[in-house]
Structure 1
Amino acid sequence: MPDTLRIGFLQQIDSLNPYLGLNDASYIFYGLIYDMLQSVDEDMKSVPNLALESKIVDVAGAPHGSVWEYDLTHNATWHDGQPFGAADVAWNINLNCLGSNYSDMWAYQPYTFFAKYAEIIDSDTVRVTYYDRSNGSLIPCAYGDFLPIHMLPSHLLSTYSTSFLSFQWLGYFTGTSPPIVGTGPFMVTPSIAEEFLAGSQITLVRNPDYHALPDRGEIIHFQNLVMKFYDDATAMKIALEQKRLDIAQFPQNTFKSIEHDIAAGSLQNVKTYSGLKCTQYWTEIGFNMNNAGPNKWRLDPEARHALAQAVNKSYIVNNFYYGCGGEGTGLISPITPYWHWEPSAAEHWDYDLAAAAGALQAAGYVDTNGDGWRECTASSAAVQNGWSLEGAKLNLEMLTRHEHPEEKEITMYLQEQWAQIGIDMTWQVVTEDNLAMVVYSYSYDSMIWYWSSDPDPNFMLFCQSEKSINGWSDNMYYNPAYEENYTNSVRELDPVKRQEYVHNCQKISYEDAAYIVLTYVYGTYAWRTDTFTGWGNWSYHPGRSIDAYWGANPLFFDLESANLGLVIREHAGDFRIPLPETWTVEENATVDGEELDMIVRGPVYNDFMTNIVVTSERDRSASESSSYLFASMNETVEELQAEGEQVSTSGTPFLWETDNYSAIGFYLSWSDPQFTQLIALYSSEEHNRVWAVVCSADDDAFLADMAMFQDIVTGFEVIRTSDNGTSTLLIAVLVVTGAVAAAVVVLVLLLLRRKPSPQSPVPPTQPTVPGQMAPMSGYCPICGNVQTFTNRMCARCGNALPSPPFGRSGVPPVT
């Protein structure tokens, strides 16, 4: 399916609720459905998303940097058709930060701990005031330009309690279309709940009204995205080989076998990437710092230092990660080198079993009975602080994840290594869900787990702060020096000074060894080059990775089906347009005495020839204003309906512009015969000219072709020199029937001559065309778009519509 991107995972989504989910697969899913105020570009920089600008504003009585203003796009809509605006942003932020809400709404605490409240300035502007929650004082906020909080629909969630949203909500609705509502680049299907419970895949469809096109001229070129879940890496590899997957991240051993097959020539049209993950991903040995759990001698920092010296990270990287990783040190990955800290030679815990044994001996942990295992003596900190009884054996329990078999092997290796220094370690393999339950009860000894984080260091540093205990903290770590440096890193707006505080936090954490960061595990991806192109260079641009989960992933806007076959065709001295390579092109064709610039004939579906028509005329009144374009669209629809045609608009019109024209695109649904059109009108003041591109397809075929049609109309390029003249625009509305499909395109409806009137414009923000449509009778059960009962599919989301009456309990009528 060339219009479907298929991504393989060995980790299932753990919850459809973004207030509850934890794992990376879940966060990738959330980033596809929901937008944030900012996203991350391919070079790991914060860039606009819903907030077109994020800036500090000075307010009387408030420290500089304590108030940030977010200027929002007015091109975004919720997937159910409701408008998005400042009220949604303010509700989302206040839901997570105000008063007692903060304790329940734990998911975004790393960002909202320092957020006091959000206020609406106008319909497109929100301000957030930042403060120190521990003492109530307003403080500058260094990460105000990167606030990765998913924006959820207030019009559907505002009546629910915070405890319900955080701990009980399933993440979808049973009475809305679609069942999950965001503003993101993809939408769920009506079967999302059933797919999630089945656990084999989740299917998403492209959001045709995504605001990236009018905001920044970007569009996603494929129609569907399928997340496919596997229990076995070999099965996932076979799926990639058989072209049933386009891309997947593989365990290191499977990844190496793929590289071997590529080198041997037995696997073709596949490329690989192995490098640091954009999500900061690293694994660690974590120690519970709570005064609880079975073996509390682990609370002695000298004992943890000895354990750190008994970890051969180089051996672990090379043997258990197959060389696909870097030795871990600081809390921030080298993927963001400005924030990453490396210990000096004097600070580094070198692997040295003899030194580790000597450190334990000096700290009062001695083998007193000659059985090979050390015991706590009266001189040890464990006995002196009441953590352990004198004579207690140095036992240690470790938890590891079932989903990552290499971690079990690492644990077994550590068991053997630590036995050599007199520590009796036992381990247990559990599912990640069970590990999380035990770890967040703070009643364990140690574990091997992982962290993912953001390009900005705030998230990760917060999660090791006292401020995150009983929230994100999984080991209850506390150090006053760490707290001071972390708070300063939040307050400091100077990036050079902030870097110093960030480095200090990592140095303190490393020396305390509450975490022994094991490995900066590489992302090990393989993808097919014969199904999609545009993957780019992830080594130079790591933000293009599939696991860039901050919304509006830049990769998705560059991927194109390798089978699409669009080539640039030029109409001599006039325009260029991308067209399907195998379709028939006729230039300067005459139909019923009218000359058309170009007719393009495609395949026949249900006795209807898919076709594209390009036509143009000079027009001195041509304007590049949005009001002119909306008026042109409205008058086109009005005159068609005046001719008695059963036609209605569908979806939200979209605007874009280039250096020498402005354009509007809109969809028309026809009932006799049943087909759908994407019509684009291009107006150029420089040329005093207007062009029209009309893409037509049978309803059943339009869904598959819609992404291609959008690529065609947005790829239109004017190359003619400036000219003058007066005339009217010729819009050709074409219907092709089976009887003539093999011969010529026949114009059977009308050739509409019209001249838009700038005196009766439609406001540029008008989302629909009120008062000029055929009667509306129902709503698409997926996206809520208004439909007529004669439509067979929704041109907004491509959903096949059921028989009438449909969508009677959906979105209210547009009036």
Structure 2
Amino acid sequence: MRPRDASNPRTRWFRTREEEVEGAKMMLRWRPVAMAVTLAMVGGVMLSGSALAQSSGTSSPTANKIVLRVGVPGDMISPNPLLATNGNDYETLFNAYDLLFNFNPDDLSPSPGLATGCDPSADYKTWTCAIRSGVTWSDGQPLTAEDIAFTYKFIETTDENEVFTSYIPYHPTFSAPNATTLIWKSPKPTFAPTIPPWVPILPEHIWKQFEGDGKAARGFANVPAVGSGPFVLTSWNKGQGWTMEANKSYWGGAPAIDEIQYIVYDSQEAMVQALKSGQVDFADNLNPTLFNTLQGQPNIGTVKGTASTFTNLAFNFGGQGPDATNNPVLKDLKIRQAIAMGIDKQSIVDKVWQGDAEVGSVITLPSRPQWFYTPTDVQSQAYDPAAANTLLDQAGYSKKDAGGIRLDKTGQPINLNVITLPEETGSVDTGKLIAAQLQQIGIGVKLQSMSDKQIENNNWYTGDFDAYIWGWGGDPDPNFILSIFITSQCLGWSDGCYSNPTYDKMFEHQSTLLDHAARVAYIQKMQQFIYDQIPEIVLNYPNYLQAYRSDRFTGWKPEPTNGGTYLFGWGNQYQGLTPLAAAEGGSSSGIPAALWIVLGVVAIAVIAFFVLSRRRRAEEEA
């Protein structure tokens, strides 16, 4: 998972109210009452928060319309599949598009999606997939095997940033002899069709115009989006939220929910208050402090999912282009080893995550035990600042400047520009701890805070950073997370353009291993290699914390079943949600709770009007 951007959705509403008051012409005698009304209205707006602003800026639910409102601590980056980066993007894609295969909610193994099954040839070079019949796109056009073949060809010819290419290795060919049959032919044996490939199937009649033109394809807004999933993206108000409406012709059955409103909050505190007051039905990706305050609250349920991501300190090795500013000292493995030993991961878990995380080591997750691996020399990177100082002295970095910062071999102080992201839970606080800890081994850290859009559009593409504190959430199969370290992923999924020919060969080899046990063993070798080479430091595996209104909807289910989350998981978790009877007058229809707050403060203002009027009349009579 990548971080989420946040902006202030309240600014526009507050400014509008001020402009209306400032533009009004009032008689002098009514100014005290006007001021009371104005203060009451402004207070009501401040209480209502960003959810009211969102209600004003998006489609208003009509009577009997069932609306689920989901609070998120950041915006999408893009609903265009070729630009999708963070968890919000992928949640939207999960709802809007189908995959070849879905994920079994019990263990995240492949389960039927658009394909009901795929059979390999004896040599595993040709796969024949049976495709569902009767599926339609949200605009009514039929979806056939030709759309699937087109999508994979489109990725081959148009996905210049290699967002999805690791899912279709060896440059296979695709054909559709009829509407319900897909033929996948690979020059080498492959199991790629059953990983399964996390590639949203796109409508050929919409995307054909961009085939072979990556720039034009990435420039396509894709709002509203034509898809085949259970919901349709209908609008996106950048910085405030986006709306998805139910696809009533969805092949898996029409959702009970008519509309999902994702509401962006500029602070988690505001999102939690909105949940308590009933302005939203669900709050995603909470920090531990706020999550703990919701325990035992009336009509509030909490969900503590096992780690589906890891937090990392990723290094920049350069190679993005002429404007890259990476500190060359980071190419020295001894420096990276010392940094690893200089970071107290347990203190980060205790102080930043309040114990709601595990200390990190490798790039797979403890929640996926079949792939998780414990390094053979895990103590080699254990917190030991004394050993880190000794290592740096022996490696030729014993000289320091007047401030105690070590000098590199050209005589320059070793100061690292480390980016933190406020939208990524824990990133900023983790950065502060790491900066203080590395000071103890003579490495300076300059922290720079920026939004995910800033880093995506500027620093990451140009290589203008030394490291950043971000996070990853791979697929159930480790193929994707392993792929981010190959050379070809520079300016693709790679954090900092790490390149190692030995690892590149290892990645290619693992994709040829058809025996599961042999592949598991080899991937353990790959994890050990990454652990030893330290292109990044896996800091921790944080629990995924969510909360919801227990009096609004029923049918919440975790995915995966054991330790999963209620939303932002691995499947269509909205499909089974139905409103409780008590919800019909709250979140799902009628007047929003936020508006009741405003009506209440207006009533107070009216009372103030009569009190002031009577006082004035009494003074005049006296």
TM-score, reference length from structure 1 = 0.60
Secondary structure at the residue paired with 1:366? coil
Contact 1:143 1:456 in 2 (8 A): no
Q: Structure 1's 7 and 369: CA in aligned 2 closer, same or farther, altered over 3 A?
A: closer
Residue 489 (1) aligns with residue 507 (2) = no
Q: Structure 1's 146 and 198: CA in aligned 2 closer, same or farther, altered over 3 A?
A: closer
Residue 112 (1) aligns with residue 171 (2) = no
Contact 1:275 1:325 in 2 (8 A): no
**Corresponding position of 1:376:** 408
Contact 2:288 2:545 in 1 (8 A): no
Offset at residue 513 of structure 1 (A): 1.0
Residue 167 (1) aligns with residue 195 (2) = no
Alpha-carbon deviations, 1:215-271, whole Å to 9, x = none?
xxxx533222221111121221111112222211243244334345x1xxxx21222
Offset at residue 124 of structure 1 (A): 0.6
Secondary structure at the residue paired with 2:172? strand
More helix by share: 2
Secondary structure at the residue paired with 2:85? coil
Alpha-carbon deviations, 1:190-235, whole Å to 9, x = none?
xx1xxx235323222211111114xxxxx53322222111112122
Measure the CA separation in 2 of the matches of 1:466 and 1:497: 24
Secondary structure at the residue paired with 1:20? coil
Alpha-carbon deviations, 1:582-617, whole Å to 9, x = none?
xxxxxxxxxxxxxxxxxxxxxxxxxxxxxxxxxxxx
Which of 331, 339, 362 lines up with 1:299 in the alignment? 331
**Corresponding position of 2:240:** 200
Contact 2:189 2:512 in 1 (8 A): yes
Offset at residue 68 of structure 1 (A): 2.1
Q: Structure 1's 537 and 185: CA in aligned 2 closer, same or farther, altered over 3 A?
A: closer
Residue 227 (1) aligns with residue 262 (2) = yes
Q: Structure 1's 370 and 223: CA in aligned 2 closer, same or farther, altered over 3 A?
A: closer
Q: Structure 1's 324 and 57: CA in aligned 2 closer, same or farther, altered over 3 A?
A: same
**Corresponding position of 1:53:** 117
Which of 192, 200, 205 lines up with 1:150 in the alignment? 200
Q: Write the mapping of 1:439-454 to structure 2, written as runs, cut at 5 A.
A: 439-454=460-475
Which of 452, 469, 484 lines up with 1:432 in the alignment? 452
Measure the CA separation in 1 of the matches of 2:413 and 2:427: 25
Alpha-carbon deviations, 1:514-566, whole Å to 9, x = none?
110111122100112211122235684345531125xx52x32332222289x
**Corresponding position of 1:559:** 577
**Corresponding position of 1:692:** none
- 1:299 alignment partner AA: K
Measure the CA separation in 2 of the matches of 1:73 and 1:9: 34
Residue 236 (1) aligns with residue 271 (2) = yes
Q: Write the mapping of 1:320-335 to structure 2, written as runs, cut at 5 A.
A: 320-335=352-367
Offset at residue 307 of structure 1 (A): 0.4
Structure 2 runs not aligned, ≥5 long: 1-63, 590-622
Residue 123 (1) aligns with residue 158 (2) = no
Residue 314 (1) aligns with residue 346 (2) = yes
Q: Structure 1's 400 and 114: CA in aligned 2 closer, same or farther, altered over 3 A?
A: farther
Contact 2:318 2:326 in 1 (8 A): no
- 1:93 alignment partner AA: Y
**Corresponding position of 1:188:** 233
Q: Structure 1's 247 and 372: CA in aligned 2 closer, same or farther, altered over 3 A?
A: same
Residue 283 (1) aligns with residue 346 (2) = no
**Corresponding position of 1:351:** 383
- 1:404 alignment partner AA: E
- 2:342 alignment partner AA: A
Residue 93 (1) aligns with residue 152 (2) = yes
Measure the CA separation in 1 of the matches of 2:182 and 2:103: 21
Q: Structure 1's 399 and 369: CA in aligned 2 closer, same or farther, altered over 3 A?
A: closer
Measure the CA separation in 1 of the matches of 2:428 and 2:490: 27
Q: Structure 1's 238 and 298: CA in aligned 2 closer, same or farther, altered over 3 A?
A: same
Secondary structure at the residue paired with 2:383? coil
- 1:418 alignment partner AA: L
Which of 32, 35, 46 lines up with 2:98 in the alignment? 35
**Corresponding position of 2:286:** 251
Q: Which moved more, 1:288-297 or 1:233-242?
A: 288-297
Alpha-carbon deviations, 1:95-126, whole Å to 9, x = none?
1114xx35x26331221343422111321111
Q: Structure 1's 374 and 461: CA in aligned 2 closer, same or farther, altered over 3 A?
A: same
Contact 2:397 2:408 in 1 (8 A): yes
Residue 25 (1) aligns with residue 88 (2) = yes
- 2:221 alignment partner AA: L
Measure the CA separation in 2 of the matches of 1:492 and 1:184: 33
Q: Structure 1's 539 and 42: CA in aligned 2 closer, same or farther, altered over 3 A?
A: closer
Q: Write the mapping of 1:671-710 to structure 2, written as runs, cut at 5 A.
A: none
Alpha-carbon deviations, 1:484-510, whole Å to 9, x = none?
322122111111111112111111111
Contact 2:167 2:192 in 1 (8 A): no
More strand by share: 1
Secondary structure at the residue paired with 1:7? strand
**Corresponding position of 2:302:** 272
Q: Write the mapping of 1:446-595 to structure 2, written as runs, cut at 5 A.
A: 446-536=467-557, 540-542=561-563, 545-548=566-569, 552-553=571-572, 555-563=573-581
Measure the CA separation in 2 of the matches of 1:253 and 1:457: 28
Q: Find the structure with the greater CA-based Rg.
A: 1
Offset at residue 479 of structure 1 (A): 2.5
Alpha-carbon deviations, 1:296-315, whole Å to 9, x = none?
11110011001000111111
Measure the CA separation in 2 of the matches of 1:145 and 1:414: 37
Q: Structure 1's 206 and 342: CA in aligned 2 closer, same or farther, altered over 3 A?
A: same
Q: Structure 1's 321 and 504: CA in aligned 2 closer, same or farther, altered over 3 A?
A: same
Q: Structure 1's 113 and 166: CA in aligned 2 closer, same or farther, altered over 3 A?
A: farther
Q: Structure 1's 520 and 130: CA in aligned 2 closer, same or farther, altered over 3 A?
A: farther
Offset at residue 396 of structure 1 (A): 1.5
TM-score, reference length from structure 2 = 0.78
Contact 2:92 2:233 in 1 (8 A): no
Secondary structure at the residue paired with 1:188? strand
Q: Structure 1's 165 and 336: CA in aligned 2 closer, same or farther, altered over 3 A?
A: farther
Q: Count matched residues.
A: 517
**Corresponding position of 1:393:** 413
Contact 1:284 1:449 in 2 (8 A): yes
Q: Structure 1's 405 and 492: CA in aligned 2 closer, same or farther, altered over 3 A?
A: closer
Q: Structure 1's 157 and 143: CA in aligned 2 closer, same or farther, altered over 3 A?
A: closer
Contact 2:401 2:413 in 1 (8 A): no
Measure the CA separation in 2 of the matches of 1:404 and 1:168: 26
Contact 1:466 1:477 in 2 (8 A): yes
Measure the CA separation in 2 of the matches of 1:300 and 1:508: 16
Q: Structure 1's 222 and 167: CA in aligned 2 closer, same or farther, altered over 3 A?
A: closer
Measure the CA separation in 2 of the matches of 1:425 and 1:198: 33
Secondary structure at the residue paired with 1:359? helix
- 2:255 alignment partner AA: I
- 1:4 alignment partner AA: V
Offset at residue 275 of structure 1 (A): 2.8
Higher RCO, Cα 8 Å, sep 6+: 2
Measure the CA separation in 2 of the matches of 1:511 and 1:522: 26
- 1:246 alignment partner AA: D
Contact 2:313 2:536 in 1 (8 A): yes
Contact 1:288 1:444 in 2 (8 A): yes
Contact 1:255 1:525 in 2 (8 A): no
Offset at residue 32 of structure 1 (A): 0.8
Measure the CA separation in 2 of the matches of 1:201 and 1:317: 31
Structure 1 runs not aligned, ≥5 long: 59-63, 132-137, 173-178, 214-218, 378-388, 566-579, 581-702, 705-815
Q: Structure 1's 326 and 539: CA in aligned 2 closer, same or farther, altered over 3 A?
A: farther
